[in-house]
């Protein structure tokens, strides 16, 4: 069950200061910046990392150049719904789905690449082979980088594929739309990132997270160290949904992310609090593309609006909707179409992703 939670950051976090820190990973020894507020400590993650609690942690405070209310206002008029409509058309033209290795996935990828190129990015395909039903199938991830220091890489991802028996519009054309508009918004507003942002559109998530697993497996030890955080968005427009953030420190659920994951949770809660919007935590349950990053010791977090869980009375009071009904009754079904989405919720979740992305992207090194 999701737990309603109001999360307040310490008022002392008023200055944006970032400095390099050191940590040791079982998978890759060396130093990596740790984006963690100074007065917040997170529980050790279940992934392959450990950190020295005596090392001074850098800080991200609310006095950054990113204003939560301004970002939300900007995203109220952005084109997330148009992206979902375009991916719905792709599915309609390709046997009703956009699964990895199919023509529907290829056409989905071309749409994403066209949008990225039009915004000024240079997308690349990272090819890999996966085995749905034991058959070797070639597919790919799409990656596009901003400018900024490669010493601190912020990966922002959503899976592009659908299940085979549906168009996958909430799951996960909604997440794709959020990532695309975050990328476009950063270009259009002239944000000059100090740290590099890598926008990722994963293939074969519906086949055991194969795309994100391949990406992480291909990272060198140095690249793992330089990956500061991973932000994930998987289902951002559930029709009876909630605003939920992954529980980075495990304080509400048993699973915690690597050190630094709590800070991601804090940044996302700060966005919703700044806009007087209720939000809650959701567990790291291994069910999305954050999992390979967490296992590699990379701090992770992100956004989720819900699937098969039933909405509680408390959630109905907080978010509206219908108590006792699934957050998404069409999860992994043919009815996961454009009509199975909540456009207002998508605007809020997309703005939250953009806020967190820009906050990390512009965090200066001390």
What is the set of active-site residues? 205
Q: Give Cβ neighbours of residue 150 (< 8 Å, ≥ 6 apart).
A: 196, 226
Coil, helix or strand at residue 358: helix
DSSP helix/strand/coil, 176:
helix
Element (H or E) spanning 280, and its range? Answer: strand 280-282
Q: Where are the alpha helices (DSSP H) in 208-289?
A: 210-218, 221-226, 261-274
Assign residue 320 a region (left: φ > 0; alpha: ψ between -120 and 50; beta: otherwise).
left
Phi/psi for 241 (5° steps) reads -85, 180
DSSP type of residue 94: T
Q: Are 61 and 15 in contact (CB under 8 A)?
A: yes
Residue 205 and residue 211 in contact, taking contact as beta carbons nearer than 8 Å: yes
Angle at 301 between CA 165 and CA 12, to 5 degrees: 155
Find the radius of gyration of the CA atoms of the chain: 19
Q: What is the 3-state secondary structure (H, E, C) of 195-231?
A: EEEEEEEECCCCCCCHHHHHHHHHCCHHHHHHEEEEE
């Amino acid at each position: 069950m999701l737990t309603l939670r109001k999360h307040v950051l310490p008022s002392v976090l008023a200055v944006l200061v970032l400095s390099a820190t050191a940590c040791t990973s079982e998978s890759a020894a060396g130093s990596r910046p740790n984006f963690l507020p100074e007065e917040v400590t997170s529980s050790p993650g279940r992934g392959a990392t450990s950190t020295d609690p005596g090392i001074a942690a850098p800080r991200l405070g609310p006095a950054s150049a990113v204003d939560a209310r301004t970002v939300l206002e900007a995203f109220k008029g952005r084109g997330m719904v148009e992206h979902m409509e375009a991916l719905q058309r792709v599915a309609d033209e390709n046997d009703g789905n956009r699964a990895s290795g199919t023509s529907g996935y290829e056409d989905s990828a071309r749409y994403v690449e066209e949008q990225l190129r039009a915004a000024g990015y240079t997308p690349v395909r990272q090819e890999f082979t996966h085995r749905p039903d034991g058959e070797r199938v070639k597919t790919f991830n799409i990656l596009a980088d901003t400018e900024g220091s490669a010493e601190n890489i912020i990966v922002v991802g959503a899976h592009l594929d659908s299940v085979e028996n549906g168009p996958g519009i909430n799951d996960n054309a909604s997440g794709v739309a959020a990532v695309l508009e975050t990328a476009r918004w950063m270009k259009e507003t002239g944000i000059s990132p100090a740290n590099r942002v890598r926008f990722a559109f994963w293939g074969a998530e519906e086949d055991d997270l194969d795309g994100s697993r391949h990406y992480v497996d291909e990272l060198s030890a140095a690249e793992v160290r330089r990956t500061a955080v991973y932000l994930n968005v998987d289902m951002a427009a559930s029709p009876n949904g909630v605003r939920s953030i992954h529980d980075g420190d495990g304080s509400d659920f048993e699973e915690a992310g690597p050190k630094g994951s709590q800070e991601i949770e804090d940044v996302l809660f700060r966005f919703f609090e700044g806009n007087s919007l209720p939000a809650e935590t959701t567990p790291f349950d291994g069910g999305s593309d954050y999992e390979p990053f967490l296992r590699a010791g990379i701090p992770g977090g992100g956004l989720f609006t819900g699937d098969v869980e039933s909405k509680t009375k408390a959630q109905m009071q907080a978010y509206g909707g219908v108590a006792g009904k699934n957050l998404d009754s069409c999860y992994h079904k043919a009815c996961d179409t454009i009509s199975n989405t909540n456009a207002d919720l998508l605007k809020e979740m997309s703005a939250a992703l953009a806020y967190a992305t820009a906050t990390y992207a512009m965090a200066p090194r001390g």
